[in-house]
Amino acid sequence: MKGLQWTLAVGGLILGIMLAYQFRVTSEINKTEPVQRTQLLALQLNQLKEDRDSLQEQVNSLRTEFDRVSAGPQDIELKEGLDQARILAGVTELSGPGVEVTLNDSNITLKPGENPNLYVLHDEDVLHVLNELRAAGAEAISINGQRLLAGTEVRCTGPTIVLNRDKRLAPPYVISAIGDPNTLESAIKLKGGVAETLQFWGIQVGVKKMSQVTVPAYSGGIKFEYAQAAG
């Protein structure tokens, strides 16, 4: 009986020593750099997964909000505002009632000694017509298919005119203007007005009321070098 107890005691002591040794070895392994790095990476990976799930929830929420706004009246108001801005900027094609004004050089045979410059169109002649149309409420204007903006210049270069910096046009000039046809026609044909003055020198002026006029979009680039939004 004593031998059995002695054997059990010795066996328990040996088992205790082995467990203590194993615990010490495991602790030392956990303290080594590769194991610690692996554990750190595992923690970082778990954190990244949590962050990803949080971001995905935000994305889903934003998509839901976007769909709600897009389907609501706010989107319609935003689109209308954007369309209006495009119209004012001249970057969209427009159509509507208006007039078509055709200008061409004089066909009068010059007498000896007469100044030929008096019988050809100049930039100031075209500008007078444009100013009358604008004053009469023209909402959009083009010359020979070139859209005019608020900052469009018209200047002579020999027998042609240049507008929008590099668009060279030769007569006849066909000016398309959208607005009330009767008002626009009356502005050009006003007694003592621009048409009568030009026709005195034989300049050919034709005005035609149109139920549908198409004014193309501005095709050039728009760049501000000095102007910027205030505030």
pLDDT of residue 156: 79
Cα distance between residue 215 and residue 95, in whole Å: 6
pLDDT at 3: 47
Percentage of residues in the chain having pLDDT higher than 70: 69
pLDDT at residue number 116? 76
pLDDT on residue 212: 96
Please answer whether residues 97 and 211 qualify as being in contact, where contact means their C-beta atoms are separated by less than 8 angstroms: yes
Q: What is residue 145's predicted lDDT score, i.e. its pLDDT? A: 93
Give domain limits for the chain.
2-68, 94-215
Token pair, residue 61, equals 């929420």
pLDDT < 50 regions, the chain = 2-4, 6
CATH 3.30.70.1880 fits 94-215, yes or no: yes
The angle subtended at Cα 226 by Cα 223 and Cα 229, nearest 5°, is: 85
Residue 109's pLDDT is 78
pLDDT at 39: 64
